[in-house]
Amino acid sequence: MTEHRPLILIVDDVSRNLQVVGSFLREAQYDVAAATSGRQALTIAEDVDPDLILLDIMMPDIDGYETCRRLKASEKTKEIPIIFLTAKTAEEDIVHGFELGAVDYITKPFRRQELLERVRVHVELRRSRLELARLVRDKDRLFSIIAHDLRGPLGSFMSIADYVAENIDELDLEEIKPLFREMRQTTRNVYALLENLLEWSRLQLGTITYQPSVFSLFSVVAVVESLVQAPLQQKQLTLENLIGEDIRVFADKQMISIVLRNLVSNAIKYTPRGGRISLEAEKDTFGSRVTVHVRDTGVGMGEEMQKALSVGAQVSSMPGTEREKGTGLGMMLCREMVMRHGQTLQIESAVGEGSTFSFTLDMAE
């Protein structure tokens, strides 16, 4: 999957300046948006989230200084770097721009190479900052999982084991059975969590590479189905593999297996006893792509939760219908691995009406 081209917002009330700077940037493979006033810039910046803003100082209505101040006061735009375009070279003017939050300035008339080099540096700096912030969030999530989500179930497992060991002579078989069932479920949960942690860590370290091949989607689903038989039977759920045996896709088989396993496990977790889960594949009109759907008759979710999951925001995992615990890590894995295929994970859901998770793959030729 290729990285998107940086988007630069140019703000200047002189159309000739917009044309000149815009042509420089387009030739250097940047995408360009333009605004002819400070007010227009404020609206566009919130809508498109540019990687950088080139902002003229002398403009009617509200000038560049005031536009900069408002951009930096907004939660949505405060992190966007701003370079002033100015004919003002007095020290106090330049210092005032930096005090308002600008990262640099370019003097008029524009020199092409200088402008492009300053833009390149600050776009790269912004992307580095965003990547660093993501790594910090990931580290915090990892430590939280280790400290809470692993420690909790392992502590419960140890407590049951200690109780059984200390009272083995007094306990009869009927008293031991539920304790061992709980230990078995705890073991499964910890194992699934460790699998996801390892896969997620490999993704972050870049040791998992996208390696597409041709394979049968039906057979991958069949393997996933065999792996989740125990929780399916425990909750008396029906899992239907409605994917045709002729559906062959060109994708990374390991990643798609992990995505499907996590989506099905998630559906099991949030579907009440006796419910139904189905996997379907829908070909597009031209037969070149297929959209995979994982549907359930579960508890569903509201719009806020759907939006958070779609953008990869950190969310607290709700307990399952039978108090199953989760970390939200599985959904993060699904989203990232689908993105490695150049696609997005789509969510359709309503509270009390179940959920459908979908993603699209290329069909094998």
pLDDT of 217-235, one tens digit each?
999 999 889 888 888 988 9
User: What average pLDDT does this structure show over 189-214?
Assistant: 76
Q: For the residues of 263-329, what is the DSSP string, one character each?
A: HHHHHHHHS-TT-EEEEEEEE-TTSSEEEEEEEE-S----HHHHHHHHHT---PPPP-TT-----SH
Mean pLDDT, the chain, integer: 87
pLDDT value, residue 314 = 57
Q: Is the model more confident about 131 or about 81?
A: 81
pLDDT value, residue 1 = 42
- Cβ–Cβ contacts within 10 Å for residue 7, how many? 16
Q: How confident is the model at residue 182 (pLDDT cuts 50, 70, 90)?
A: confident
Distance of CA 197 to the CA centre of its chain: 16
Domain boundary residue among 149, 174, 208? 208
Does residue 282 surpass a pLDDT of 70? yes
Residue 117 within any structural domain of the chain: no
Question: Do both 24 and 143 map to the same domain?
Answer: no
CA distance 362 to 283: 10
Does residue 3 surpass a pLDDT of 60? no
Residue 2 within any structural domain of the chain: no
Distance of CA 82 to the CA centre of its chain: 26
pLDDT value, residue 191 = 76
Q: Do 197 and 203 meet the contact criterion of CB atoms below 8 Å apart?
A: no
Tokens read off for 215: 């394979």
285-342 pLDDT, tens digit each: 888 999 999 999 999 998 888 888 877 665 556 778 887 766 667 788 888 889 989 9
Q: Do 153 and 325 meet the contact criterion of CB atoms below 8 Å apart?
A: yes
CA distance 365 to 354: 34
Question: Do both 199 and 219 map to the same domain?
Answer: no
Does residue 243 surpass a pLDDT of 60? yes
CA distance 15 to 260: 52
Q: Which pTM value belongs to this model?
A: 0.59
Domain boundary residue among 77, 110, 143? 110
Does residue 149 surpass a pLDDT of 90? no
pLDDT value, residue 326 = 64
Domain hosting 40: range is 7-110
